[in-house]
Every structure is written in C-alpha cells, then in structure tokens.
Amino acid sequence: MEHIGLYINPGKKEIVQSDNGNYLCYAIKTRIITEEDSLTDIIIEYAAPSLQKGDILFLSEKMVACTQGRALPLDSVKPSLTAKFLSRFVTKSNAGIGLAMPETMQCAIDECGRARILLASLAGMFGKLFRQKGWFYKAAGYRAACIDGPCGYTIPPYNNYVVLAPLEPDNTAASIAGMLDGVIVLIVDVNDFGGEILGSSEIIDKNRIKRLLRQNPLGQSHESTPMGILRKERRRLK
C-alpha cells in the first residue's frame, strides 16, 4: 500500500495497537544514504513533506551512523589477535553477524576499549554457564551491540561494510526535532528479532514504542526505507 511519500513494506501492518490507542505505521523510502549526505537535508527532503504535528519520526540507527561517517569498508579494518580469538566464541544468530567475525570484534574493541570488551567477554561466559543471554552486550554497552557487520541481504555497498553505532543519539534526535513542528524524533535499532530506542528528542515510554515497532516496519533487506512515522489514529465520526 502506498500513501503520498509513505509506504507499508510487504508483510507489515498499517495499524499497530498500543495500550493507549492505535497508531498508523508507515515507512519512508529514500535513495542510498552515504557520508556525503546531510542528515538534516535527508529529513527535509524525504520526511518533512509527510509529517504532521504529533507524529513520531523514527530513524534507523544505521542511516544516522552512515551520515556521520561511521560506515567502514570491511577491508579497512585490521583485526588484532585478540579480536580473532574473541570472535570465535560469539554465537551467530539469524539477526546478523554481530561480533562473530574478527573485523566487527575489532571495531568493538576500538569503540569500547580492550579492557571493557575482555570484561564483557568474561560476563558473557558466566552468562552461558547460567543459560542467560545478553550479558556480553549489557557489559560492553550500546556501541558494541549496535555494530552491524556485512550481510548478503544488505543493500550494496553496505554488504561489504561494518557500520558502527551513531554518535550522541539523544542530541542528534533533539537537533532534528528542533527543526520540525511538534514532532518527536527517535533513533532506533530494530530488526526482526527485537529492538532498542537509542536516542529520543524527549522523554518517552520506550517499552511502548518498542511494542509499536515490534513488526520491524522498516524491513530487514533491500527495502530502502531507513525511516518511518508513527501517527496516532484519530477516531472517525460515525
């Protein structure tokens, strides 16, 4: 289904339910975004014409990171012996390669520090002993958790890139919201297996927003929809 500037990706729903009412949920199609693009220009070109007061504009963390120059060609990352060793113990999942390759593990070390990644690895080991998942990323922090490695389903050229976490996500969201009229701006890391709100222009109920985005409306493959809109559904008069 298509609206003016707004899309609903295949297999996604236009209406998502919340404990405080229903929301319309749309994706916004763009061209391939690179570090040559200005994030504010992208928002003005693609999102602003469709926004209404009261909307929630959510931006893919990957798009934001790319405009910040945080996408690295895979062959530019030189893994250390520590990265090669630690990456062997990372469990691969359907959500993506994560840190299960030396290059992405090296990026985690560069982003978070070698000592913190070693401590996080120790935490992850104890987590496995107690059959608990996620201890590594809780200890390492969001900068490690957000690292995206190359995947076959990623749009070229990013299928041969490592994309790091966006910098200052709260400040970035607030800056974008400041140029829009009555719109909440979020920076999100959402996939088919869950999601997190990395940045917000104001205080929100993050768990409620994560439930609204549970269907991963931006998609997981070649959709070219790196941002979207949540809009409170207005009751129609009978």
Does 238 reside within a domain?
no
- CATH code at position 208: 3.30.1330.100
The pLDDT of residue 237: 45
Whether residue 195 is found in the same domain as residue 80:
no
Does 173 reside within a domain?
yes
Query: Tokens for 59?
Result: 């931006």
Query: Tokens for 92?
Result: 């691969």
The pLDDT of residue 214: 95
Question: In sequence order, which residues have a C-beta less than 8 Å from that of residue 213 and are 6 or more positions away?
Answer: 16, 25, 58, 188, 190, 195, 230
Whether residue 129 is found in the same domain as residue 188:
no
Q: Which residue, chain included where needed, has tokens 């990957």?
A: 62
Tell me the C-alpha distance between 63 and 67, whole Å: 6
Question: In sequence order, which residues have a C-beta less than 8 Å from that of residue 237 and are 6 or more positions away?
Answer: none
Whether residue 225 is found in the same domain as residue 116:
no
Residues in the chain: 238
The pLDDT of residue 95: 62
Sign of the Cα torsion 43, 36, 200, 193 reads: positive
Domain count, the chain: 2
The pLDDT of residue 236: 55
Query: What is this structure's pTM?
Result: 0.91
The pLDDT of residue 94: 63
Q: Mean pLDDT of successive 10-residue segments in the chain (238 residues)?
A: 73 91 95 96 96 97 97 97 93 75 97 96 91 90 92 85 96 97 96 90 95 93 91 71
Does 20 reside within a domain?
yes
Contact 200, 185 (CB under 8 A): yes
Domain boundary among 163, 181, 213: 163
Q: How many helices (H) and strands (E) does the chain have?
A: 9, 10
Domain boundary among 138, 163, 188: 163
Task: Write out the residue range of the structural domain in which residue 30 sits.
Answer: 2-70+166-232
Domain boundary among 163, 197, 214: 163
Does 237 reside within a domain?
no
Instruction: Name the burial class of residue 199, with classes exposed (0-12), middle (13-18) and buried (19+) by CB atoms within 10 angstroms of its CB.
Output: buried
Does 45 reside within a domain?
yes
Whether residue 156 is found in the same domain as residue 171:
no
CA 76 to each of CA 8, 15, 162, 190, 193: distance values in angstroms, whole numbers, following the listed order: 36, 43, 10, 26, 29
